[in-house]
C-alpha cells in the first residue's frame, strides 16, 4: 500500500485528481471504476477543471460505478446515476453510452449483476478504481462480513450506513436499505486502486484498513493484498495511525525517486 498523508481535503482531491489525470493521459481509453459520496466530489471538480482547460479528455474513457440503490430509478434525485450525471458526466466530455451504473430497477437483479460483471470483462477489466471508505470499513457497499471473494450482487446496508447516508435524503423521502454493489473480488481485480478518506470520522476505519488484520470485519483491509493501491488521507483521517512517521518517510523517498 502506498500511504499518502496530506494537510486537508483540498490537497487530497488535488493529489487524487493528478493521479487519475495521469492515468488518462497515459491511456486515453482507460476503463475507470468510479465512486459516489462526499469523498470524490472535490476530485471530480478538479477533473472537470482539467477537462475544461484542455489538459485531459475523457472522450475515449469507459466508466463503471461501484454501486446503486435498489429501488431508485436512474433519474431519481438520490440515485447514484443522478449523482454521477450531476457531479461528473454532464460536466466533462465522456460519452454517456460509455458510462455504466448498476440498474437499481432491474427486474432480474441477479442477471443484471452477471451482465455488469460481463461488461467489465468485455472491456478487459478496470484500469483505475476510485474508492471511498465507510466509517465501518466498507468499500463499495460491501459491508463488514461481506465475502472477500464476492462479485457484483445485492447487499443489505447496515443501519450505520443507512444513517450515514440519510443526510442525502429528505426526511419524508424513501431511503433504500438494499444496494447493488461490485463485489470485493471484482474491485480487487482492478489494475490500480486509489482510496480517498478525509475527516476524523474515518480515522478508526482507516486504522483498521492499514494496520489491522485482513478481515471481512473491515472489508477495506483486503487492499493490503493489492499490488498497486494508493491510500490518500488528510491528517484527520490518518489521526489514529501508529506508524505515520514511517509512511511519511517512505512517501518522501518515493517522491524523490519519481522526480529523478
Please report whether residue 138 would count as binding ligand F6R according to CB under 6 A.
yes
- Cell output for 9: 481535503
Please report whether residue 209 would count as binding ligand F6R according to CB under 6 A.
no
Closest approach of ligand F6R to the CB of residue 115, in Å:
19
- Cell output for 247: 509512511
Closest approach of ligand F6R to the CB of residue 231, in Å:
13
CA-nearest of 49, 59, 56, 63 to 95 is 59
Count of all residues that appear for the chain in the document:
260
| Alpha-carbon span 152 to 47, nearest angstrom | 27
Closest approach of ligand F6R to the CB of residue 206, in Å:
12
Residues with active-site annotation: 67, 136, 138, 143
Please report whether residue 66 would count as binding ligand F6R according to CB under 6 A.
yes
- Cell output for 230: 494508493
| Alpha-carbon span 152 to 119, nearest angstrom | 12
CA-nearest of 32, 30, 31, 38 to 12 is 38
Please report whether residue 35 would count as binding ligand F6R according to CB under 6 A.
yes
Please report whether residue 126 would count as binding ligand F6R according to CB under 6 A.
no
Please report whether residue 38 would count as binding ligand F6R according to CB under 6 A.
yes
Please report whether residue 237 would count as binding ligand F6R according to CB under 6 A.
no
CA-nearest of 241, 246, 234 to 205 is 241
211's enclosing H/E stretch is helix 203-211
Strand order through the sheet with 178-181? 67-69, 178-181, 153-156
| Alpha-carbon span 157 to 137, nearest angstrom | 13
Q: Which of 16, 33, 37, 144 binds ligand F6R (CB under 6 A)?
A: 37
**β-strands 31-34, 178-181: how paired?**
unpaired
Binding segment (CB under 6 A) for ligand F6R, from list 29-37, 95-103, 108-116, 226-234: 29-37
Nearer to ligand F6R, 39 or 230 (CB): 39
Please report whether residue 36 would count as binding ligand F6R according to CB under 6 A.
yes
Residue 85 CB burial class (10 angstroms; 0-12, 13-18, ≥19)? middle
Q: Which of 12, 139, 193, 241 binds ligand F6R (CB under 6 A)?
A: 139
Q: Which of 39, 79, 150, 186 binds ligand F6R (CB under 6 A)?
A: 39
List alpha helices for 34-193, DSSP H: 41-52, 80-87, 109-122, 159-165, 184-188
Select the residue whose beta carbon is closest to ligand F6R and give its number: 132
Nearer to ligand F6R, 24 or 139 (CB): 139
Please report whether residue 103 would count as binding ligand F6R according to CB under 6 A.
no
Closest approach of ligand F6R to the CB of residue 223, in Å:
13
Closest approach of ligand F6R to the CB of residue 68, in Å:
9
Nearer to ligand F6R, 119 or 254 (CB): 119
**Binding residues for ligand F6R (CB under 6 A):** 35-39, 66-67, 132-134, 138-141
Amino acid at each position: 500500500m502506498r500511504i499518502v498523508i496530506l494537510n486537508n481535503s483540498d490537497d487530497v482531491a488535488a493529489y487524487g485528481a493528478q493521479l487519475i489525470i495521469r492515468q488518462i493521459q497515459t491511456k486515453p481509453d482507460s476503463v475507470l471504476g468510479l465512486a459516489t459520496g462526499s469523498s470524490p466530489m472535490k476530485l471530480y471538480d478538479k477533473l472537470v477543471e482539467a477537462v475544461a482547460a484542455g489538459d485531459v479528455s475523457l472522450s475515449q474513457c469507459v466508466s463503471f460505478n461501484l454501486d446503486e440503490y435498489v429501488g431508485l430509478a436512474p433519474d431519481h434525485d438520490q440515485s447514484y446515476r443522478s449523482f454521477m450525471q450531476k457531479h461528473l458526466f454532464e460536466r466533462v466530455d465522456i460519452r454517456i453510452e460509455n458510462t455504466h451504473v448498476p440498474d437499481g430497477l432491474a427486474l432480474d437483479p441477479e442477471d443484471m449483476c452477471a451482465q455488469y460483471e460481463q461488461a467489465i470483462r468485455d472491456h478487459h477489466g478496470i484500469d483505475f478504481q476510485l474508492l471511498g471508505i465507510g466509517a465501518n470499513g466498507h468499500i463499495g457497499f460491501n459491508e463488514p462480513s461481506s465475502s472477500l471473494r464476492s462479485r457484483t450482487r445485492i447487499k443489505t446496508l447496515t443501519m450505520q450506513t443507512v444513517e450515514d447516508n440519510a443526510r442525502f435524503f429528505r426526511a419524508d423521502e424513501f431511503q433504500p436499505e438494499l444496494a447493488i454493489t461490485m463485489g470485493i473480488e471484482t474491485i480487487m481485480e482492478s489494475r490500480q486502486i486509489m482510496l480517498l478518506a478525509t475527516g476524523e470520522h474515518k480515522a478508526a476505519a482507516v486504522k483498521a484498513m492499514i494496520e489491522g488484520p485482513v478481515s471481512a470485519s473491515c472489508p477495506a483491509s483486503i487492499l493490503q493484498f493489492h499490488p498497486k493501491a494508493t491510500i490518500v488521507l488528510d491528517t484527520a483521517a490518518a489521526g489514529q495511525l501508529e506508524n505515520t512517521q514511517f509512511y511519511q518517510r517512505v512517501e518522501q523517498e518515493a517522491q524523490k525517486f519519481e522526480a529523478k
